[in-house]
Chains A and B, each alone.
Chain A
Amino acid sequence: GAGVSQSPSNKVTEKGKDVELRCDPISGHTALYWYRQSLGQGLEFLIYFQGNSAPDKSGLPSDRFSAERTGGSVSTLTIQRTQQEDSAVYLCASSRHPQPENTEAFFGQGTRLTVV
């Protein structure tokens, strides 16, 4: 597609349920990022994928969060046993290989997750 696509755009789930968020990056982009944006807060880094390298999971807030990227393209962020504090907008971004350093990251429209 022409841009980064995320689905669903909105998700309301009950506390304790599992959710899966999907990201389709721009074709050919090897780098993929997940960020979380809570109300009134800046974007919080969650996880980074680059090609076939091991992902950088250092931003995942707890072991309830996991992500995978199949075939170097589509990525899924999974949140198990959701809690109310997980409510946020989850943004995905992709870019060509991170070098050169001025490579631009393109963002999807985000998935707004509400845990009730």
Chain B
Amino acid sequence: KNQVEQSPQSLIILEGKNCTLQCNYTVSPFSNLRWYKQDTGRGPVSLTIMTFSENTKSNGRYTATLDADTKQSSLHITASQLSDSASYICVVRGSNDYKLSFGAGTTVTVRA
């Protein structure tokens, strides 16, 4: 069973609207969680990293939250733009473990 589950699998939003993506994980002990953005035909690129002690972190119109107690993270996209259309992948790293656990991703489509 995958240790990182993401929802929804895909979503479509209108330009200018907000959306929230969810990530639940079971990786333990936990070290950090990254949200990656993967444009079509490209490799994933890191948006933000959350460590155990951090609850929220922003990167422009992207805001990530983390609840390490419930093992949940979210990525909120504000005032979406067409360029936000991509797959968003949640990646969790365990302590003292070089392997990364990937979620299946959420495909976001922003329409004009």
Contact = CB atoms under 8 A, between A and B. Distances in A.
Interface of A: 4, 31, 33, 35, 40-45, 48, 50, 56, 91, 93, 98, 101-102, 104-110
Interface stretch (B14-22, B60-68, B71-79, B102-110): B102-110
Q: Which of B2, B36, B98, B102 has the most CB of A within 10 A?
A: B98
Contacts of A91: 43-44
B100 interface: yes
Interface in B85-112: 89, 93, 95-96, 98-100, 102-105
Nearest to B38: A107
B44 to A, nearest CB: 5
A69 to B, nearest CB: 15
B46 A102 contact: no
Contacts of B46: 104
Nearest to A105: B100
Nearest to A35: B102
B62 to A, nearest CB: 16
A36 B95 CA distance: 23
Nearest to B103: A42
Smallest CB-CB A-B distances: 6 pairs: A107-B43, A42-B104, A43-B102, A98-B98, A101-B31, A42-B102
Given A102-B32, A104-B34, A42 B43 contact: no
